């Protein structure tokens, strides 16, 4: 008869029980870090001349990051609440209604005049804006890095 003894079974079971928490905390840290890098890339590169030039900085400052951990999933979301971000990201072709307004003019028929305000009636305008992707293109550029770093975080959590 052969007798075998398993030495270290309690330590193994303890390590296996701790593995999900180690993986979760490592992934949360890495995904948060990747989200911050993606946000920085969008703001400093894509919205500073690479895709769009910054005029007022409102679109650039409206880019925000949210990291959620729920239902066994960790997600990092980059978003903006800017009114015109979707039009810039995806493009637009269609008609828009322009409200009546006052316009200040300093020139008429190519010649300078004393500044005065004129009333402009409401009108419809045809617009055809090309796609200028700053969010999707940044994510696409960073996808290989994201994949490599998430795999490295998983390997690191399992090997500890």
Same domain, 49 and 115: no
Report yes or no on 2 lying in a domain: no
Neighbour-count burial for 56-83, b at 16+ CB within 10 Å, e otherwise: eeebbeebeeeeeeeeeebebebebebe
100-114 pLDDT tens trace = 999 999 999 999 999
pLDDT for the residue 20:
73
pLDDT for the residue 59:
92
pLDDT for the residue 16:
63
Same domain, 124 and 52: no
- CA-based end-to-end distance of the chain: 38
| Chain Cα centroid distance, residue 48 | 15
Other Cβ atoms closer than 10 A to 10: 9
Report yes or no on 148 lying in a domain: yes
Distance from C-alpha of 73 to C-alpha of 62, rounded to nearest angstrom: 26
Global pTM exceeds 0.85: no
pLDDT for the residue 6:
65
> In this structure, what token pair is assigned to residue 47?
């919205």
With tokens 């006052």, the residue in question is 102
Report yes or no on 73 lying in a domain: yes
Report yes or no on 119 lying in a domain: yes
Domain of residue 22: give its range. 9-86+134-159
Distance from C-alpha of 97 to C-alpha of 34, rounded to nearest angstrom: 40
Whether the CB-CB separation of 74 and 24 falls below 8 Å is answered with yes
Per-residue pLDDT of the chain (160 residues; tens, 9 = 90+): 777 666 666 776 676 666 677 788 888 999 999 999 999 999 999 998 888 888 888 999 999 999 999 888 899 999 999 988 999 999 999 999 999 999 999 999 999 999 999 999 999 999 999 999 999 999 999 999 999 999 998 888 877 6
> In this structure, what token pair is assigned to residue 54?
């910054």
Report how many domains make up the chain. 2
Same domain, 99 and 150: no
Distance from C-alpha of 86 to C-alpha of 51, rounded to nearest angstrom: 14
Same domain, 23 and 72: yes
Whether the CB-CB separation of 131 and 90 falls below 8 Å is answered with yes
């Amino acid at each position: 008869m052969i007798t075998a003894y398993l030495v270290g079974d309690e330590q193994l079971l303890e390590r296996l029980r701790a593995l999900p928490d180690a993986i979760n905390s490592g992934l949360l840290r890495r995904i948060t870090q990747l989200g911050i890098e993606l946000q920085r890339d969008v703001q400093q590169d894509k919205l500073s001349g690479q895709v769009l030039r910054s005029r007022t900085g409102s679109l650039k400052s409206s880019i925000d990051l949210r990291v959620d951990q729920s239902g066994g999933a960790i997600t990092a979301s980059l978003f903006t609440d800017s009114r015109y971000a979707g039009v810039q990201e995806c493009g637009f072709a269609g008609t828009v209604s322009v409200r009546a307004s006052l316009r200040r003019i300093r020139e008429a028929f190519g010649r300078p005049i004393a500044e005065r305000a004129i009333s402009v009636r409401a009108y419809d305008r045809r617009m055809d804006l090309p796609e200028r992707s700053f969010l999707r293109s940044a994510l696409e550029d960073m996808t290989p890095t994201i994949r490599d770093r998430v795999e490295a975080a998983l390997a690191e959590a399992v090997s500890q």
